[in-house]
């Protein structure tokens, strides 16, 4: 894993005491000023407590410091696995997914969960909890599903998807829905609902555990959906206000295939891959930018 800076040039990030890592590193996430990086790695020589190169773990590294293992057993401090990190703009908070049940005390559901690392805090916090603070159930998904959570730039909100049926009351569709919560796991809210809080009739996002775009202050999220009752045709992209629930269609075509959309800091722009030729200046599909106004 490398970082490039206009003044500093290229520097190795995934480094241990003896140099570079002894296995692949990937999934980088970078803070707003580039001083803190979170990433996943199979390497066993980046930090103490890692045995072998068969399990992926999550690390945080200051630009010029050693890698810090954060996916570790809360008692033994040994690596137990994690992936898909997302970092706040200040670099002081990272969320990631893990199948391990020894990252925190009293993790009893034996399923993947989302965890929060916060600089200066001695322990991780499990945040993929139900609205009542209980462990979520498995829903209709595999216990080994990799879920990509996203933390807002201000570090206050986290958004992710699950088919769990006990996250909030009234979730009866047994499909993948999108949930947002505070960084401490409280304030759980289901976002992917139709008018009158009606269950969506398809998965959101389309991809299992797919990454969801979130604005700096958590007011706006963007995702594609397989539902047909969220204001767009199946497979299209929406922008949603997390405070009011208002949905703004970003794409709406019955022939469109879309990739993971991301949203700008204020929610005014969405960028995503689309199979349609949406820019008339060019003859191909590709990555497109959409002005939404974020309103």
pLDDT value at residue 283: 82
Mean per-residue pLDDT for 127-141? 97
Mean per-residue pLDDT for 100-118? 96
Band (pLDDT 50/70/90 cuts) for residue 65 is: confident
pLDDT value at residue 254: 82
Its pTM stands at 0.94
Q: Is 107 helix (H, G, I), strand (E, B) or coil?
A: coil
Mean per-residue pLDDT for 227-250? 96
pLDDT value at residue 143: 79
Least confident of 12-21, 82-91, 202-211: 12-21
Check whether the bond before 271 is cis (ω within 30° of 0). no
pLDDT value at residue 96: 99
Q: 269 and 287 in contact (C-beta within 8 Å)? A: no
Q: 95 and 158 in contact (C-beta within 8 Å)? A: yes
pLDDT value at residue 294: 54
% of the chain residues with pLDDT over 70: 99
User: Per-residue pLDDT tens for 148-197?
Assistant: 999 999 999 999 999 999 999 999 999 999 999 999 999 999 999 999 99
Residue range 1-126 forms a domain whose CATH class is: mainly beta
Decide if pLDDT at 82 tops 70. Answer: yes
Query: Concatenated DSSP letters for 53-102?
Result: SSS-EEEEEETTS-EEE-SB-TTT--B---EEEEE-TTSSEEEEEE--S-
Band (pLDDT 50/70/90 cuts) for residue 295 is: low
Tokens coding 7: 């003044």
Q: Which residue has the higher pLDDT, 288 or 64?
A: 288
């Amino acid at each position: 894993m490398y970082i490039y800076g206009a003044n500093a040039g290229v520097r190795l990030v995934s480094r241990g005491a003896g140099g570079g890592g002894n296995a692949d590193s990937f999934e980088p996430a970078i803070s707003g000023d580039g001083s803190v990086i979170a990433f996943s790695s199979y390497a066993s020589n980046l930090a103490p407590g890692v045995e072998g190169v068969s399990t992926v773990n999550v690390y945080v590294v200051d630009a010029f410091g050693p890698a810090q293992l954060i996916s570790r057993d809360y008692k033994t401090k040994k690596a137990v696995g994690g992936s898909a990190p997302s970092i706040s703009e200040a670099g002081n908070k990272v969320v990631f997914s893990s199948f391990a049940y020894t990252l925190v005390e009293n993790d009893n559901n034996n399923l993947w969960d989302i965890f929060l690392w916060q600089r200066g805090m001695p322990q991780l916090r499990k945040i993929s909890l139900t609205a009542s603070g209980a462990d979520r159930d498995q829903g209709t998904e595999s216990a080994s599903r990799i879920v990509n959570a996203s933390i807002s730039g201000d570090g206050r909100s986290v958004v992710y998807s699950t088919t769990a049926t006990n996250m909030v009351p009234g979730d009866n569709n047994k499909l993948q829905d999108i949930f947002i919560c505070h960084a401490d796991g409280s304030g759980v809210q289901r976002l992917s609902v139709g008018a009158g809080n009606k269950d969506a009739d398809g998965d959101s996002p389309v991809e299992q555990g797919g990454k969801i775009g979130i604005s700096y202050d958590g007011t706006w999220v963007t995702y594609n959906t397989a539902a047909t009752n969220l204001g767009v045709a199946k497979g299209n992209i929406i922008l949603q206000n997390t405070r009011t629930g208002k949905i703004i269609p970003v794409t709406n075509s019955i022939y469109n295939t879309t990739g993971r959309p991301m949203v700008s800091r204020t929610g005014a722009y969405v960028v995503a891959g689309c199979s349609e030729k949406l820019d008339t200046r060019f003859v191909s599909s590709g990555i497109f930018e959409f002005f939404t106004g974020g309103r």
